Structure 1
Amino acid sequence: MAEEPMELIRLEGGGNSVVLRITESEERQSPTEVQVLAGEFLVRTPFVRGALKTWIFPDDLRQWQQALDSLDAGRDIAWCEGQRGPWLYVERDDDNDRCRVTIKDHSMSLTTVTVTVPLADAWFDDAYRRLDLVWDAWPRMAED
């Protein structure tokens, strides 16, 4: 079990950032319950700062892998859209060196925030590494 918070997602640059920090693993009440990670989206710009709690399930991590693959292939992504928690959208600019990142809280605050950040090729290696670190820290998630 990881002891320190981990960042699953970090998109930053130009004074803006969107981070998904995993803070803990919530204990299962019974062996049949699905493992869940508690976390929070952190959005920071010179104009806006905010935090939004979320929960990450095993299928969410698998879907993040697929979203990374799509984003790496030059496509826009929607992650966790239509699910219970916040939705994340990443839209690449035409020149592909920047992206618009949107966090939509459709259930609690009913707030949507969009920031623009650089998206360099090196970011993808780091994003896949972060995903692997989360899988390694919470190996029971991979079993679900």
Structure 2
Amino acid sequence: MRELGGAVMAEDPIDLIRLEGDGNSVILRITGKEERKRPTEADALVGEFLVDTPFVRGALKTWVFPEDLRQWQQALDSLDAGQDIAWREGKRAPWLFIELDEDDDRCQVTIKDSSMSMTTVTVTVPLADAWFDDAYRRLDLVWETWHMAD
């Protein structure tokens, strides 16, 4: 790891969220950890949402806090149980919605940025059962790599 402008950077970024297929992708890539100066503030992970389709491509910087990681775990559990999810809804951060298509192994992934760009993008991607094992592994890897305190 190295330090760069107050943020601790890992040698390799980690994709906390990776939904892709059929030429479309939505990724939340964690690129470092930002240590807060005040002891009352939690450290945050630095990352960016990456959206790539044949029609639209974009990136949006974000910060991920320990509470966000715990809520992502709960969202994964709900999604795995067949429920649509909303992650970070109502926060001053990009929101992520995943709506399952009951007829096939696909989902609608929506990223909504209500605070900066005022933009919403929805992408359709496949969502196979094997994706869940990988998603839980990615979450564990982020916890282990960045040693986030509660």
Category of TM-score, reference length = shorter chain: over 0.9
CA–CA distance in 1 between the matches of 2:118 and 2:30? Answer: 22
CA–CA distance in 2 between the matches of 1:93 and 1:47? Answer: 21
From 80, 93, 97, give the equivalent of 2:101.
93
1:1-144 matches, cutoff 5 A: 2-139=10-147, 141=148, 143-144=149-150
Q: Determine if contact 1:81/1:88 at 8 Å carries over to the other structure.
A: yes
CA–CA distance in 1 between the matches of 2:102 and 2:83? Answer: 11
Secondary structure in 2 aligned to 1:120? coil
Q: Deviations over 1:28-84 (max 9, x none)?
A: 213332010110000000000000010000000000000000000000000000001
AA of the residue aligned to 2:73: Q
CA–CA distance in 2 between the matches of 1:33 and 1:107? Answer: 21
Q: Deviations over 1:84-140 (max 9, x none)?
A: 10000000001250000000010111110000000000000000000000000011x
TM-score by length of 1: 0.95
CA–CA distance in 1 between the matches of 2:39 and 2:118? Answer: 34
Runs of 4+ in structure 1 over 4 Å off: none
CA–CA distance in 2 between the matches of 1:63 and 1:119? Answer: 20
Unpaired segments of 5 or more residues in structure 1? none
CA–CA distance in 2 between the matches of 1:5 and 1:85? Answer: 20
Q: Determine if contact 1:11/1:17 at 8 Å carries over to the other structure.
A: yes
Normalized per residue, which structure has more strand?
2
CA–CA distance in 2 between the matches of 1:77 and 1:27? Answer: 29
> How many aligned residue pairs are there?
142
Secondary structure in 1 aligned to 2:11? coil
TM-score by length of 2: 0.91
CA–CA distance in 2 between the matches of 1:3 and 1:32? Answer: 28
Unpaired segments of 5 or more residues in structure 2? 2-9
Normalized per residue, which structure has more helix?
1
